[in-house]
Amino acid sequence: MSAVSIAGVAARNVVTPRSVEELARAVGELHAARAPFAFVGGATHLALGNAPRALDTVIRTVALDRVVEYAAEDQTITVEAGMTLAELDRVLAAHGQMLPVDVADRERATVGGVVATNAFGRRRQRYGTVKDLIVGVTIVRPDGTLARGGGKVVKNVAGFDLPKLMTGALGTLGGIASVTFRVHPLPEARRAAALHFDGSDAIARAARAIVEARLEPESVALYNYDALVVSFGGTPRGVEEQMRTLLDRVAPGAGAGAAHELVDDEPESYEQRERAVRRDGDWRFTVAAPPAVPSWTLGSFVAAAPLAVPVAYPLLGVALHAYAALAADAPRQCVELRAHVAAQTDGCGNVTVTAMPDAARGRVDAWGDPPPSLPLMRALKARFDPLALCNPGRFVGGL
């Protein structure tokens, strides 16, 4: 990639270090020159966030793609930041293990990128986000100094929790060089079923029923406001018992109009829809609300036809929406959507604009109103990056 633009801002230079030492040296030279820079992996989330205030150089991490250490018996692996999730899948699958993080494009998404964005998808229901899977990290601080945090084992509570701090920081506190993850065994069996409903009340009843039945699904995802897809993974016997409970008790009790187990390519067809709503569309929104609020209904407030099928996670309070375009008054629509979500959630919900056209930059804030923790976030930014050279302005509150 010869040219890179981040949230509509083009970098003058692109460098691709071939080792962690080269990465640290490149950052140190940019710091000495007072040149603003940003880190890019597979370039799958370049539309996320606000436009950087300044951008001289993009540092590509794709050449940092080695397995540093793999202790399969301990269920931990350390890899460099540029390794793609697809390649990591291949390494782990040879030992019957997996990293359960869902993204739109596993062939491009890199380890560093999913950590920087705290990526998650439908399997967050069971496994959490990247923040729940990371146990160690090596970073390059904005002055070029290498630093390490966490450890190589799952139970590690010593010292400052640098891995969690770097997760979701969007590369504003430094560059991720390598990551240690806790991995999980591949399920012996996987099965899924679709429950169809007419109305949000019935969907909410079904979500509550899944919890009350003490089911442990891998994922619970709602597609197009009416199809609730519940998937299970584990031993064949355990999966069979949960499927029977779902179809024989939960679905009828919640008033599902129809319920059936997904077969052949049906599970993949639903997963394709989820990838599409994360990847396609000039405008993309993530709506978050307390799980007790039907989050999947809030994004439909936007007066535009969706480009992709809306997808929501009812038990997590998260909904994803994608639009090909909004009207000329898109900034006003974003303000109204945020006000609508705040009103419906007593101020506990929020809307993140995960993608927007370049022409809207500066008129729409990607993050909305900053959280009460902004002063603490500013203090951390000042401590890590006092010259504000590292991806400046792209994160919440102009960080």
**For the residues of 66-128, what is the DSSP string, one character each?**
-EEEEEGGGTEEEEETT-BHHHHHHHHHTTTEE-----S-TTT-BHHHHHHTT---TTHHHH-
Instruction: Give me the pLDDT at residue 11, please.
Output: 93
The torsion angle over the Cα atoms of residues 219, 220, 225 and 227, rounded to 10 degrees, is: 90
Enumerate residues 6+ apart whose C-beta is below 8 A from 64. Answer: 17, 18, 19, 20, 23, 80, 81, 82, 83, 112, 177, 178
Instruction: Give me the pLDDT at residue 199, please.
Output: 80
- CA–CA separation, 229 vs 190, rounded Å? 13
Q: Give which of 246, 241, 260, 261 is closest to 212, Cα–Cα.
A: 246
CATH superfamily for domain 189-263:
ACT domain (3.30.70.260)
The torsion angle over the Cα atoms of residues 80, 85, 91 and 94, rounded to 10 degrees, is: 160
Kindly report the pTM of this predicted structure.
Answer: 0.90
Instruction: Give me the pLDDT at residue 169, please.
Output: 94
- CA–CA separation, 210 vs 206, rounded Å? 6
Instruction: Give me the pLDDT at residue 326, please.
Output: 76
Report the phi/psi class of residue 275: left, alpha or beta, with left for phi > 0 and alpha for psi in -120 to 50.
alpha
Instruction: Say if strands 57-60 and 37-40 run parallel, antiparallel, or are unpaired.
Output: parallel
Instruction: Give me the pLDDT at residue 2, please.
Output: 59
DSSP 349: -
Could you identify the residue written with the tokens 């993009």?
58
Could you identify the residue written with the tokens 């401590």?
383
Enumerate residues 6+ apart whose C-beta is below 8 A from 194. Answer: 227, 228, 229, 259, 260, 262, 266, 270
Instruction: Give me the pLDDT at residue 155, please.
Output: 47
Per-residue pLDDT of the chain in tens (399 residues, 90 and over written 9) = 457 889 989 999 999 999 999 999 999 999 999 999 999 999 999 999 999 999 999 999 999 999 999 999 999 999 999 999 999 999 999 999 999 999 999 999 999 999 999 999 999 999 999 999 999 999 999 999 999 998 765 444 455 689 999 999 999 999 999 999 999 999 999 999 999 988 888 898 999 999 999 999 999 999 998 899 999 999 999 999 999 999 999 999 888 888 999 999 999 999 999 999 999 988 999 999 988 888 777 777 776 777 888 999 999 999 999 988 776 678 888 888 899 899 989 988 999 999 998 888 888 899 998 889 999 999 999 999 999 999 999 999 999
Instruction: Give me the pLDDT at residue 1, please.
Output: 47
Q: Tell me whether domains 189-263 and 271-360 share a fold.
A: yes
| Residue spans of alpha helices (H) in the chain | 20-32, 85-93, 111-116, 124-127, 130-133, 162-166, 200-212, 236-245, 251-254, 266-279, 295-298, 330-344, 374-384
**For the residues of 11-41, what is the DSSP string, one character each?**
-SEEE--SSHHHHHHHHHHHHHTT--EEEES
CATH number of the domain at 67-185, please? 3.30.465.10
Domain chopping of the chain, boundaries: 5-61, 67-185, 189-263, 271-360
β-sheet bridge partners, residue 39: 59
Could you identify the residue written with the tokens 């993608």?
355
Q: Give which of 161, 147, 115, 119 is closest to 385, Cα–Cα.
A: 147
Give how far Cα 26 sits from Cα of 39, 54, 60, 143, Å.
11, 18, 11, 10
Looking at the structure, give the CATH architecture of the domain made up of residues 5-61. 2-Layer Sandwich (3.30)
Report the phi/psi class of residue 177: left, alpha or beta, with left for phi > 0 and alpha for psi in -120 to 50.
alpha
Q: Is 173 helix (H, G, I), strand (E, B) or coil?
A: coil
Enumerate residues 6+ apart whose C-beta is below 8 A from 399. Answer: 172, 377, 378, 381, 392, 393
pLDDT tens-place string over residues 156-194: 445 568 999 999 999 999 999 999 999 999 999 999 999
Fold of 271-360: Alpha-Beta Plaits (3.30.70)
- CA–CA separation, 143 vs 37, rounded Å? 11
